[in-house]
Amino acid sequence: MAFVPAYLKLTEGELKEKVKQAFELQEKCMLCPRECGAERGKGQKGACRALNTAKIASYGPHFGEERPLVGTHGSGTIFFSYCNLECIFCQNCDISWAGYGQEVSTQELAEIMLKLQKRGCHNINLVTPTHYVPQILEALFTARKRGLSLPLVYNCGGYESVETLKILDGVIDIYMPDVKYDDPEIAQRLSGVKDYPQRVKEALKEMHRQVGDLQVDEEGIAKRGLIIRHLVLPEDFAGTEKIMRFIAEELSPQSFVNIMRQYHPVHKAWDYPPLNRSVTRHEYERALEVAEKVGITPRS
């Protein structure tokens, strides 16, 4: 049976209602757990520094993502400017902190999605989308009418509101959150949000409820499900074992988990020892060991 993206199963009225609900959440912005209340439609910037118009840094086929997303033609990534986190080691700080990029209307965003489909990409990969959920849904409404039929990937930092995620139920095919920390104090110190561990666990449960474990086609291309990313940090600042245990016991031991080694100091990390150095081979191998100990098989 041919795969049909979730959003194509919605009626026009159902999708329009989701657009309405998302914009209502943004009026006095409650889209993410910061709940900053910014009136973005009146020119007030949110805690994420975003306004009411989507801003993107770049888009195109991307071959550096997980293998089930990349396939042979790449993942159709759209990199959104700004972020609801303040990670001191962000490797895309020019985008997430400085807001590099250009504003696009929802019509232009719809056109970008269709261009990526025409180029043969396997999916539409929305990178750091949380603060632009209303604009993305409005663009999707247009793109769907014009023939968009690729799976949607919600590629986020994990700091998500369950209320917003419920609006996305029946729209997103593949969730791909980071799971950064287990310790609230470390989360506050490194990303400016003390409640990150609680919020990311709530979000993971809701994402898994919606889409389940990752499903791929006969060619190994992802069609639906949850992909979890976890970046190993020096001296186990991320709390890898506790995170893996949560995934195995409260989500699924069959979860697709990418335990990533690529941490290296950038942005403000030089001022925060031990984050002023890269992860050692021993630290990475230890992370793999503790994942396997609790029943998680790391993948990439």
The pLDDT tens digits for 121-168 are: 999 999 999 999 999 999 999 999 999 999 999 999 999 999 999 999
State residue 62's pLDDT score: 96
pLDDT tier at 35, thresholds 50, 70, 90: very high
State residue 203's pLDDT score: 98
Q: Tell me the pLDDT tens digit for each residue of 45-78.
A: 999 999 999 999 999 999 999 999 999 999 999 9
Q: Tell me the pLDDT tens digit for each residue of 237-269.
A: 999 999 999 999 999 999 999 999 999 999 999
pLDDT tier at 223, thresholds 50, 70, 90: very high
State residue 297's pLDDT score: 94
Residue 186 has pLDDT above 90, yes or no: yes
pLDDT tier at 101, thresholds 50, 70, 90: very high
Residue 97 has pLDDT above 90, yes or no: no
Tokens of 250: 């409260």
Helices 106-118 and 133-145 cross at an angle (nearest 10°) of: 60
Residue 175 has pLDDT above 80, yes or no: yes
Q: How far is CA 90 from CA 108, 132, 145, 151, 157, in A?
A: 28, 20, 36, 27, 11
Helix, strand or coil, per DSSP, at residue 166: helix
- DSSP track, 233-296: -GGGTT-HHHHHHHIIIII-TT-EEEEE------TTGGGSTTTTSPPPHHHHHHHHHHHHHTT-
Question: Where are any strands of DSSP class E within the chain?
Answer: 55-62, 75-80, 102-103, 124-127, 152-156, 174-177, 215-216, 222-231, 256-260
Using the structure block, give the residue that is written with the tokens 């600042």: 237
Q: How far is CA 202 from CA 21, 41, 125, 197, in A?
A: 20, 28, 22, 9
- Alpha carbon distance 32, 160 (integer Å): 5
Helices 12-27 and 133-145 cross at an angle (nearest 10°) of: 160
Interval 38-43 mean pLDDT? 94
Domains of the chain from N-terminus onward: 6-293 (3.20.20.70)
Q: Tell me the pLDDT tens digit for each residue of 200-212.
A: 999 999 999 999 9
Q: Percent of the chain, pLDDT > 70?
A: 100
State residue 2's pLDDT score: 82
State residue 300's pLDDT score: 85
Residue 117 has pLDDT above 90, yes or no: yes
Mean of per-residue pLDDT scores for the chain = 96
